[in-house]
Homo-oligomer: A and B are copies of this chain.
Amino acid sequence: MNFKEELSEYVKIVNNELEKYVRREECPETKLNSSMEYSLISSAKRLRPILMISSYKLFKKDFESVFPYAVAMEMIHNFSLIHDDLPAIDNDDLRHGKPTNHKMFNEPTAILAGDALLNNAYLVISEDLKKENNPERLKLKINAFSELTFGVDRMIAGEYVDTEFEGQEISNEYLEYMHNNKTGALIRASVRIGAILAGAGKTDLEKLTNYAEKIGLAFQIKDDILSEIGDEKILGKPVGNDRKLGKVTFVTKYGLEEAKKMLDDVTNEALNKIEGYKEKGEFLKELALYIKNREK
C-alpha cells in the first residue's frame, strides 16, 4: 500500500468505529442524537485518530486497543468544532461545505450536542477501562485517559485566548501559546496517547512529543494560509474571513511569504525528529508532508 491507500484505509477504519457509537433509536432526545451524528459522521480527515493509530504502530502491530481512544478523540475534536462555530464564539455558518451544527439544528441543540460529545468521549473510555483485566494494560490506558483530559484542558484554554484577544494586538508569545494549545494540544495528545497505549518509553515519548508539536504548528500555519488563499470550493468555507474579523493569524501577522517559509521549516523539523525510526516512521513522515501540502 502506498501512503494514500493506507491513509484512506485508516479513514475507513475510524469511520467504521465511529458508526458503532451513533445512537439511532427513537427516544425523546432523538434530535440531540441526530445533531451529534451530523457533526461526527462526516467526510472529515480523521487526522487525530490516524495520528494516534500510526504512533501506536511504531511499537506494536495490533492496533484495535487504540480504537476507543481514537473514537473519544474524534468526539472531542467535533465537540470543539461545534462550540467554536457558535454565534457567541466564531459565528461560522459553514464547516466542510455544510451548514454548521447550530445552523442545521439550533443554538441550544448545538451547545448540548457539544457537551454530550465531550462527555460521551469519557463514557467510551470508562467502558473500555471497565473491560480491561490486565493490570499492566489498565495502567497504560489510565495514563492515556489522563493525557486526554490534559489535552482537552489545554485546547479549551487556547480557544479561550483566541476568543479573548480577537481583534486586538497580540504578542508573539501569546500567539504561540494560543496555537500550542488550541490546535496543538489535541494533536500532541493524539500522538502521545498512541505511544502511551503501546507502552513506549520516555525517550520515544519525548521524540514523538517534539514531532507532534512541530506538525501541530504546521497544521495551524497551513490552516491560516488556506484561510487566506485556499480554494473556497475545496475548502468548503469562505476565504479571507480571518482578515475581515481582525483575527491574528500567521498570515495576517507575518505575511503570506514568511508564513509559507515557516511552514517549510517546521515541517522539516518534524521530519528530523522521527528520522531515527527509519522505515517504521515512514507513515508519520508522509503525514507531516500531507499536512503541509493539503488543500483543505
Residues of A whose CB lies within 8 Å of any CB of B are: 27-29, 31-32, 79, 83, 86-89, 106-109, 111-112, 114-116, 118-120, 122-123, 126-127, 129-130, 135, 138, 142-143, 145-146, 148-150, 152-153, 156-157, 159-161, 163-164, 174, 177-178
Q: A108-B89, A109-B163, A130-B146 are in contact. Are A157 and B29 (CB under 8 A)?
A: yes
**A32: contacting residue among B32, B148, B157, CB under 8 A:** B157
B163 contacts A119, CB within 8 Å?
no
26 contacts between A and B (CB under 8 A): A28-B157, A29-B161, A29-B164, A31-B160, A32-B160, A88-B88, A88-B107, A88-B111, A89-B111, A108-B160, A111-B111, A112-B156, A112-B163, A115-B115, A116-B157, A118-B118, A119-B149, A120-B153, A122-B122, A122-B145, A123-B150, A126-B148, A129-B129, A129-B142, A130-B142, A130-B143
**Copies of this chain:** 2
Closest B residue to A112 by CB, please name it.
B160
**A31, A115, A135, A174: residue with the most chain B Cβ atoms closer than 10 Å:** A115
- What chain B residues lie within 8 Å of A135 (beta carbons)? 135
Closest B residue to A131 by CB, please name it.
B142
**A126, A135, A163: residue with the most chain B Cβ atoms closer than 10 Å:** A126
B163 contacts A108, CB within 8 Å?
yes
A149 contacts B126, CB within 8 Å?
yes
- What chain B residues lie within 8 Å of A150 (beta carbons)? 123
A119 contacts B120, CB within 8 Å?
no
- What chain B residues lie within 8 Å of A27 (beta carbons)? 157
**A153: contacting residue among B79, B108, B116, CB under 8 A:** B116
**Once the chains are docked, how many angstroms separate the CA of A138 from the CA of B138?**
10
B88 contacts A108, CB within 8 Å?
yes
**A145: contacting residue among B111, B126, B138, B161, CB under 8 A:** B126
**Once the chains are docked, how many angstroms separate the CA of A130 from the CA of B120?**
21
**Once the chains are docked, how many angstroms separate the CA of A115 from the CA of B86?**
13
**Once the chains are docked, how many angstroms separate the CA of A141 from the CA of B71?**
23
